[in-house]
Amino acid sequence: MAVIALAGCSGSPGVTTSALALLLGWPLESGRRMILAECDPDGGAVLHGLLQGTLGDRYGLPNLSVAARKGEFGEAFWRQLIDLGGEDGPPDSPADRLLLPGITDPAQAASLSSVWKSLSQMFRGIEADHGHDVLLDLGRRGAFGPSGVLAEQADAVLVVVRNTLRCLQAAQGRVRQLEEQVGDVGLLVIGEGPYPAGEVQRVLQAPVVATLPYAPRDARVLSDGDEQPRHFTRSKLMKAARTAGALLVQRAAVRRARLDPRAAFASGVPGAR
């Protein structure tokens, strides 16, 4: 299992929508959970997008900053999670796709400066002790500054880009920044533009780990809470998300094996010697 961080760049590449597609399509074994945490200092989007503001501010990161000051961080964490369900999950695991909503106002980020490290340790503990996967939506700025510890502690960091000229140009600097901070990074490509994976890799000097189709109608279900079209779970977007999830897990396992071969060998990661 893995902790995987998604980071963005300018040009609205679709980090949060991609993260939601991955959450709902993630390949889960019985008894496993997938947790998506919105850790964008500029503010989360799911509460007022997919969830249409129906839950107010009852859940999310701001409540964890209060709990941390009271010494109740670990216990409070699980109370902040929202079950997003999903028809693709195992029938015997009703609460297997969980969301930790982000802040609703960028001004709230200042109150989280002492929380990010505790959160990164919480995610590592969840992955190690429970075998759950954790997906981090870092937005454009979350991989840097005080929240940068989340990217540094992740098993894999991927930059979400669209294969358009504008987005590729915007992504070049961001990929270099992340490589300096966390080492190697991968790419999750949204196929809006004309450039094939090989050209994207050449321009950004980073491997394309997975791709998602550019599907505005299906994406609006996740980004804005639009009504689901018929057979949404079998749409091209969700099919690709299931494949991408498996590839991201594999990427994380290979990177972990390279950084810590003994631990990877003990856990049975293929190729660890």
Provide the residue-wise pLDDT of the chain in tens; the chain has 273 residues. Answer: 789 999 998 877 799 999 999 999 998 887 788 999 999 999 899 988 998 888 777 888 988 888 888 888 888 999 999 998 744 333 343 478 999 999 988 998 988 988 999 999 999 888 777 778 999 999 999 999 999 999 999 999 999 999 999 999 999 999 999 999 999 999 999 999 999 999 999 999 999 999 999 999 999 999 999 998 888 999 999 999 999 999 999 998 888 787 665 544 444 544 443
In Å, how far are 19, 211, 230 from 196, measured between CA atoms? 22, 11, 30
E runs forming strands in the chain: 3-7, 34-38, 82-83, 97-100, 133-137, 156-162, 186-191, 208-213
The alpha-helical segments, DSSP class H, found in 109-235 are 116-130, 148-153, 165-182, 197-204, 216-223
- Which pLDDT does position 234 carry in this prediction? 92
CATH architecture of the domain 3-266 equals 3-Layer(aba) Sandwich (3.40)
Q: Quick check: 103 and 149 in contact, CB under 8 A?
A: no
Distance of alpha carbon 150 from alpha carbon 144, whole angstroms: 9
All structural domains of the chain with their residue ranges = 3-266
Quick one: pLDDT at residue 101?
94
Nearest C-alpha neighbor of 203 from the set 160, 159, 171: 171
Structure tokens that stand for 203 in this block = 């321009």
